Structure 1
């Protein structure tokens, strides 16, 4: 079920870097701010931004973060700073902000919903921080979502990591991101790490939450784009396809524009 990336990594790298530089130049802004998680998506995105030669601010925003995620993020930032003089970094520990928020809002007896809401709150605090830093330095917030996350299963927080100015890798499958990461020589510790959103303060992976690996979900996304469910699917393929379809359906509210109530002209006084 795994899909091997077939993209032309060198050409795509050049294309995205040019696109990023042109966008920032036309917007009359100084560069990019990127949240660094210790994962492959943020590592690839920040490396692409760094290649523009424009200011690239890498931001660590730990909130009760797993130590392995922190160490991978720092390893990547140090490597990137050695390679590109335009790369800067800052750490903003949001743990105390998060704890203050928790203490000020009502709780809930529904533990599952409470934990999910707090996880999404972490992502939204980080988005606020990135926009604050982008505002004072004249930088664009670069998104780190890939195609499977952003347009397949909607595995991101609305107005959290989904709140960005531009999305350089959102048309790349996860396998493509890994291929680009290898080409860009991001740290092997990141290339080999199991993907995780890091929103729960523990070591749970994306696969633990989604019920399928990115290879599997990528396969399901491609199958859905072709012709839907196939009667020749194996038992596991059917399970994965059903997981994909369910997530794609319930998360459409993230992928579609905000619905606007259009007032009929008959209710307006001309």
Structure 2
């Protein structure tokens, strides 16, 4: 991949889309991970207004410090970049106390994790509305179109997706080209939705390079190693289970003779 050409293409695409939409720029959530770092760096280079939001909810301090350091690195270079911290822990706790519990802890934990993501989406659109901005998505190709590793109407609720045609490996390549801070480059990918140290690989059961291999696999399964068979099974199950996230919302079409 020619990172320079890809970066310039995305920056031009972002700027053209925003100008045609008649908006002032972008807002996005910065998590301390590579995807949001790369997306924000690309948005910053459009010269259009960019608001970077930190939205901690019982957040791991290392994630917060990485996000803050990255935002400061952008603000020091790009006058069009500003930031805000919206502490969502109290609103989340208040909402969580109002919701019913569940006997299955894993089900409850996932439901609350998705609730965090949707609370952040609501905050992003609030800022977008106040400032006439678009919400920029930070999902990559493996997450958005491979295993569906995102929250529907959470981090999946966006106006445009600048890096959704790039695999995770390609996002890292672009990150190196864009001089993303070393702490983010070195950090294990995590969605940060559970308030602990679990990584994306812990949750999915396979690394992003493995998932990228499975996403492109079209060969003889008989020659696969035991691990490759496991990864392929993980990928296929996730892809099938999360298909509803990757296709348009089903619409019940009413036959003309019934109207």
Shorter-chain TM-score bucket reads: over 0.9
For the structure 1 residues 18 and 9, does the alpha-carbon distance in structure 2 shift closer, same or farther, using more than 3 Å as the test? same
Which one of the candidate residues 233, 236, 248 is aligned to 2:239?
248
Counterpart for residue 193 of structure 1: 187
Distance (whole Å) between structure 2 residues aligned to residue 20 and residue 253 of structure 1? 27
Distance (whole Å) between structure 2 residues aligned to residue 43 and residue 229 of structure 1? 38
Question: Once the two structures are superposed, what CA deviation does each residue of 1:51-94 show, in whole Å capped at 9, x if it has no partner?
Answer: 00000100000000001100100010000111111100000010
- 1:230 CA displacement: 2.0
Counterpart for residue 157 of structure 2: 163
Question: Once the two structures are superposed, what CA deviation does each residue of 1:77-136 show, in whole Å capped at 9, x if it has no partner?
Answer: 000111111100000010001001011111111211111000000000000000000000
Size of the alignment, in residue pairs?
A: 259
Counterpart for residue 127 of structure 2: 133
Which one of the candidate residues 189, 196, 205 is aligned to 1:202?
196
Q: Does 1:15 align with 2:9?
A: yes
Distance (whole Å) between structure 2 residues aligned to residue 243 and residue 167 of structure 1? 25
Question: Once the two structures are superposed, what CA deviation does each residue of 1:194-246 show, in whole Å capped at 9, x if it has no partner?
Answer: 000000000100000000000100111011xxx25621111111110110000
Counterpart for residue 109 of structure 2: 115
Counterpart for residue 39 of structure 2: 45
Q: Structure 1 regions of 5+ residues with no counterpart?
A: 1-6
Distance (whole Å) between structure 2 residues aligned to residue 50 and residue 14 of structure 1? 12
Task: Look up the SS of the partner of 1:88 in the other structure.
Answer: strand
8 Å CA contact 1:229–1:241 kept in 2: the answer is no
Distance (whole Å) between structure 2 residues aligned to residue 55 and residue 229 of structure 1? 50
Counterpart for residue 253 of structure 2: 262
Q: Does 1:104 align with 2:95?
A: no
Counterpart for residue 224 of structure 2: 233
8 Å CA contact 1:39–1:73 kept in 2: the answer is yes
Task: Look up the SS of the partner of 1:219 in the other structure.
Answer: helix
Q: Does 1:63 align with 2:63?
A: no
Cα-Cα RMSD: 0.7
Distance (whole Å) between structure 1 residues aligned to residue 256 and residue 28 of structure 2? 44
Q: Structure 2 regions of 5+ residues with no counterpart?
A: none
Distance (whole Å) between structure 2 residues aligned to residue 229 and residue 164 of structure 1? 38
Q: Does 1:172 align with 2:198?
A: no
Task: Look up the SS of the partner of 1:196 in the other structure.
Answer: coil
TM-score with structure 2 setting the length: 0.99
Distance (whole Å) between structure 1 residues aligned to residue 87 and residue 124 of structure 2? 13
Task: Look up the SS of the partner of 2:128 in the other structure.
Answer: helix
Distance (whole Å) between structure 2 residues aligned to residue 264 and residue 159 of structure 1? 30
